[in-house]
Amino acid sequence: MHDPTTIEAKWQAWWEANRTNEPDLDGAARPYYNLMMFPYPSAEGLHVGNLYAFTGADFHGRFRRLRGHDVFQPIGFDAFGIHSENYALKVDIHPMELIPRSIANFTRQLRRSGIMYDWSRTVTTTDPEYYRWTQWIFLQLHRAGLAVKKEAPVNWCPSCKTVLANEQVEGGRCERCTAEVGQRLLSQWFFRITEYAERLLANLDWIDWSSSTLTAQRNWIGRSEGALIRFALAGEGDGAAGVEAAGGAEGAGDSEVAEQADGTNPAIEVFTTRPDTLFGATFMVLAPEHPLVEALTTEDRRAEVEAYRTAAAAIDLVERRKTEERTKTGVFTGGHAVNPATGERIPVWIADYVLMEYGTGAIMAVPAHDQRDFEFARQFGLEIRPVVAPPEVVAAAADPAAVDLELGDAAFVAHAAGEQLVNSGAFSGLHAEEGGERIVAWLGERGLAEPQVNFRLHDWCISRQRYWGPPIPILYCDACGTVPVPEEDLPVVLPHLERFKPGDDGVAPLAKDASFYEAACPSCGGAARRETDVSDTFLDSAWYFLRYPSTDFDDRPVDPGRTRRWLPVDMYIGGEEHAVLHLLYSRFITMVLHDLGHLPFEEPYERFRKHGLIIREGAKMSKTKGNVVNPDEYIDRYGADAFRTYLMFLGPYQEGGDFRDSGIAGPQRFLSRTADAVRAAVATGATGFPDPDVERAVHATIRQVTGDFETLSFNTAIAALMELLNALRAGGRVPTVDEVRPLVVMLGPIAPHLADELWEELGGTPSLFEHARWPEHDPAKLRTDEVELPVQVNGKLRATVSVPRGATEEAAREAALAREGVQRHVADGEVVKVVYLPDRLLNFVVR
């Protein structure tokens, strides 16, 4: 049993003294930027989940390095944000004191893990020299018109009188005082990421990412094609429940509608993906906070409408999104609008199932063909009128303009498989999809509709009414208005506030520090007030990878030369939990900086691979369950090499796996036996490949392991090396140094300390990672003269026979039939067919 502690300390010191892990950023010939998601340095220390992620990325980086690349593998700390702030509040230690401690602890843990970090180029987001450039990025977006101020709702605890982050709301209640949480409108800064929605979506077609991550991004962006349709408001008495429009396209454009579309009377605009169902729109629904509600509401309905709006506003943002089991609620406003297709007066309701944030905040309700509208109509007894039907129903009807379609308990939503329009005037009988286009075109002539694309992606709210973040670099001046802080005045330093708790009065912590917010207007020199919100942590992490190669430049965020050489990132490995927000935001920021001329590329990560989640004995790790793995304990006990090997062996890296204490014994034995075998080989000094079977095993393993590393299949790579070791030691044989050398090199990415030690013992110049090359397999060495041919009868395996490579079918048959087990089954009937795949398989088909 070898003692890992000594050699791990030895090699860590060696690597550091010789700057083994610090590539020459200006001279590297084959730069390879291997990025991993930098951690949030929690006070509890490094989590095994972090280490799992980093270890896999390190396997990849070290592999690339042994393949001849100059690998840059930096690390940093994402240290701003609500987690740190809340923890600091809990333990009552100021974050400016707590964070450096946590970072020191993380650094200690990471340094002993054997990961090939370049410690000379770290990035910490809370460092003013870093967030100076975070603020600079804000200013670039502001100047480009991509940072704007808008009103937006936040979670609001009426008892604590404070803004709450979504994480602080539990079951609709404040996690601290359990009061019911509501919403409040605040003026906040937004980045207009929606301007980039189309490009962010389009580029997903060519970047090389894990497919599930691409799907998640596509869904999040949520592009839908449809139409914007305008429904004129109907006056109190006019617009009889007319049906004349049902006569057809010509008749439908009644003068009243045309008149009202000219702007004298505001129309209700809706977005729909189903313009084909317009003739079935029997009512409308607005979001409770829709601006037209006021105007639409009739006197007799006012009290009820107001009550509903107030109640809706009191539901917090988190709860409102939880929709299961909620029955539809809503209130009639008393107002009406005109269906532009039928000319009918239809009632306008408000309901909280319509969201102000999506589309126009208003919908045309087609209960026959939308499940939500259907439920709402059933709830309130509104008309349900089918306008789309399956072709067989249409075929059976005398007139497609007057079809009676029976709906059961659900709306009929199909429309893309040949369904046809019915009860839709002149459009009746058309296929639904074509009908929809024709209806939009027809209304378009009157300015009542136009094709439109909508995204579910929202603009990115970056304002946080908290303390622990970079101040937003904006000033408000009575004379000059909103004034950006001049770039030369950056950073706007976050002051050391003793009392940084979110205010009892709802204002941001920085708004209580006059020495912070009182400033001179950079434009007129008069009194101005600083923005007191800080920015979202996601902004810090949206560009950290751009900074790593340029950390030694203090006069620019990114150095053009370094950036050209190292970026975009060659490989980014990280958790799927960041599949959407972090990855999308960093793509957006990169795209904007590209457009503004600061970067020569618009996609930051050429390849992204997600890693899986690690669980503990079948259950998620959590502090409350007490099943959290502390890496320190395991490294103390088994060494970093064995721990790394086990982490990557316990399951497929991209799917995650189950951590079991007992499992670590296997990898530990494997490393120990490898050391024994190598040392035995060195002791005898025998060279060459005396045994062709062993030589073949060496080459087969090289091929297998190389392929596995390419696809991040680390578990099978380790298994293949274990197999090789078993072959080298089979029957108590002692391997030669030549047999063992490729094993040691391939062990490099897995157990770097031991591999470097054994490399040295084999007579190599340290470090392995500087002087060894990944072995290549020789295809000629894989060939055998004899092959084991599986023989089947009717697809069932009956024997395997040894035949010469490339044997003819006759020869193979003869060899197979010579076997009694085959003969017996073949003799049962007549051989009607023989399937022969040379060197692979022989199958007799017997009837």
Q: Nearest distance from residue 835's CB to RNA, in Å?
A: 4
Q: Which two tokens stand for residue 801?
A: 């026979």
Task: Closer to RNA by CB, 200 or 287: give it.
Answer: 287
Q: Which of 165, 164, 220, 224 is nearest to 193 (CA)?
A: 220
Task: Closer to RNA by CB, 463 or 701: give it.
Answer: 701
Return the bridge partners of 836, or none: 842
CB 775, CB 702: distance < 8 Å:
yes
Q: What distance in Å separates the CA atoms of residue 683 and residue 678, rounded to the nearest whole number?
A: 9
Task: Closer to RNA by CB, 354 or 510: give it.
Answer: 354
From the number of C-beta atoms within 10 Å of its C-beta (0-12, 13-18, 19+), residue 390 rates as middle
Task: Closer to RNA by CB, 235 or 790: give it.
Answer: 790
Task: Closer to RNA by CB, 178 or 726: give it.
Answer: 726
Task: Closer to RNA by CB, 660 or 771: give it.
Answer: 660
Task: Closer to RNA by CB, 66 or 579: give it.
Answer: 579
Work out whether strand 182-191 and strand 147-157 pair parallel, antiparallel, or are unpaired. antiparallel
Task: Closer to RNA by CB, 185 or 835: give it.
Answer: 835
Q: Which of 745, 718, 730 is nearest to 691 (CA)?
A: 730
What are the Cα distances from residue 586, in Å, to 582, 592, 603, 690?
6, 10, 9, 55
From the number of C-beta atoms within 10 Å of its C-beta (0-12, 13-18, 19+), residue 663 rates as middle
**Strand, helix or coil for residue 290:** coil
The alpha-helical segments, DSSP class H, found in 315-396 are: 317-321, 371-380, 391-396
Residues 6+ apart with CB under 8 A from 696: 781, 782, 784
Task: Closer to RNA by CB, 596 or 613: give it.
Answer: 613
Q: What distance in Å separates the CA atoms of residue 113 and residue 643, rounded to the nearest whole number?
A: 9
Q: What distance in Å separates the CA atoms of residue 22 and residue 29, rounded to the nearest whole number?
A: 14
Residues 6+ apart with CB under 8 A from 525: none
CB 75, CB 714: distance < 8 Å:
no
Q: Nearest distance from residue 653's CB to RNA, in Å?
A: 9
Task: Closer to RNA by CB, 134 or 424: give it.
Answer: 424
Task: Closer to RNA by CB, 818 or 837: give it.
Answer: 837
Task: Closer to RNA by CB, 408 or 795: give it.
Answer: 795
Q: Which two tokens stand for residue 378?
A: 């059933």
CB 724, CB 743: distance < 8 Å:
yes
The alpha-helical segments, DSSP class H, found in 222-284 are: 249-252, 255-260
Task: Closer to RNA by CB, 682 or 700: give it.
Answer: 700
Q: What distance in Å separates the CA atoms of residue 779 and residue 22, rounded to the nearest whole number?
A: 35
Amino acid identity, position 734: V
Q: Nearest distance from residue 435's CB to RNA, in Å?
A: 15
End-to-end CA distance of the chain: 60
Q: Nearest distance from residue 328's CB to RNA, in Å?
A: 6
Query: Cα torsion for 289, 295, 299, 304, to the nearest 10°?
Result: -10
**DSSP designation for 278:** G
DSSP 627-651: ----HHHHHHHH-HHHHHHHHHHSS
Task: Closer to RNA by CB, 71 or 364: give it.
Answer: 364
DSSP 580-614: THHHHHHHHHHHHHHHTTS-S-S-SBSEEEEE-EE
CB 728, CB 677: distance < 8 Å:
yes
Q: Nearest distance from residue 576's CB to RNA, in Å?
A: 6
